[in-house]
Structure 1
Amino acid sequence: MANTSFDAPLFLRKRHYIQELASLEDVFDFLDEWAEEQRDATYEVIEKACRMAAQGIFPLPAFRENLRRFLIKHRMLANIEEVPVVAKRQSDRNIGS
């Protein structure tokens, strides 16, 4: 599989947390968790497109855009302002200095 990372990750809103989708591997995991009774035609299309992107048949940027639309349709796309910012640790500080 070639480069499977997105230029910019997508964030989806789960029930109690925000999940980052930064690569096709993340999307495959997300799709595997999708409830079988909710797997409709749009799910089938996005799953097929994901497999085609992994094979290099479907352009990765186009797949990311289709995934973004899929998440919007299912009201799962998180607004970037909803994602908590993790404080950056200062690794250059020495203890005792």
Structure 2
Amino acid sequence: MKVKAKLKNGVVKVKCMAKHDMTTYNQMEKKTGNREDANFITYMTAKIGNETVFEASTSQFLSKNPIFKFQFQGIGAKGDKLVMEWTDRKGNKGKGKGKIK
């Protein structure tokens, strides 16, 4: 996962790309005949230390390798590590880290 974070005027702007195929129920039904083979990111979080700064529940309606953009303020300084984590429908996990610039 690629993670970029920039601090400007007290606001941290984050952009990250999660590498994932994001297969939908319809795609898998056509491909394998079984809708249960679908696999997509269902949960995404971002943390600085123990503090959660972003949390999202997602569905099958995201593109392959989805890009997430968000911003926050009140926590984080230049040099702090931002850790992004996702979990997909089958329980697989992905993780990416970036420093606030």
- TM-score class, shorter: under 0.3
Larger radius of gyration: 1
TM-score (norm 2): 0.23
Determine which structure has the larger strand proportion and give its number: 2
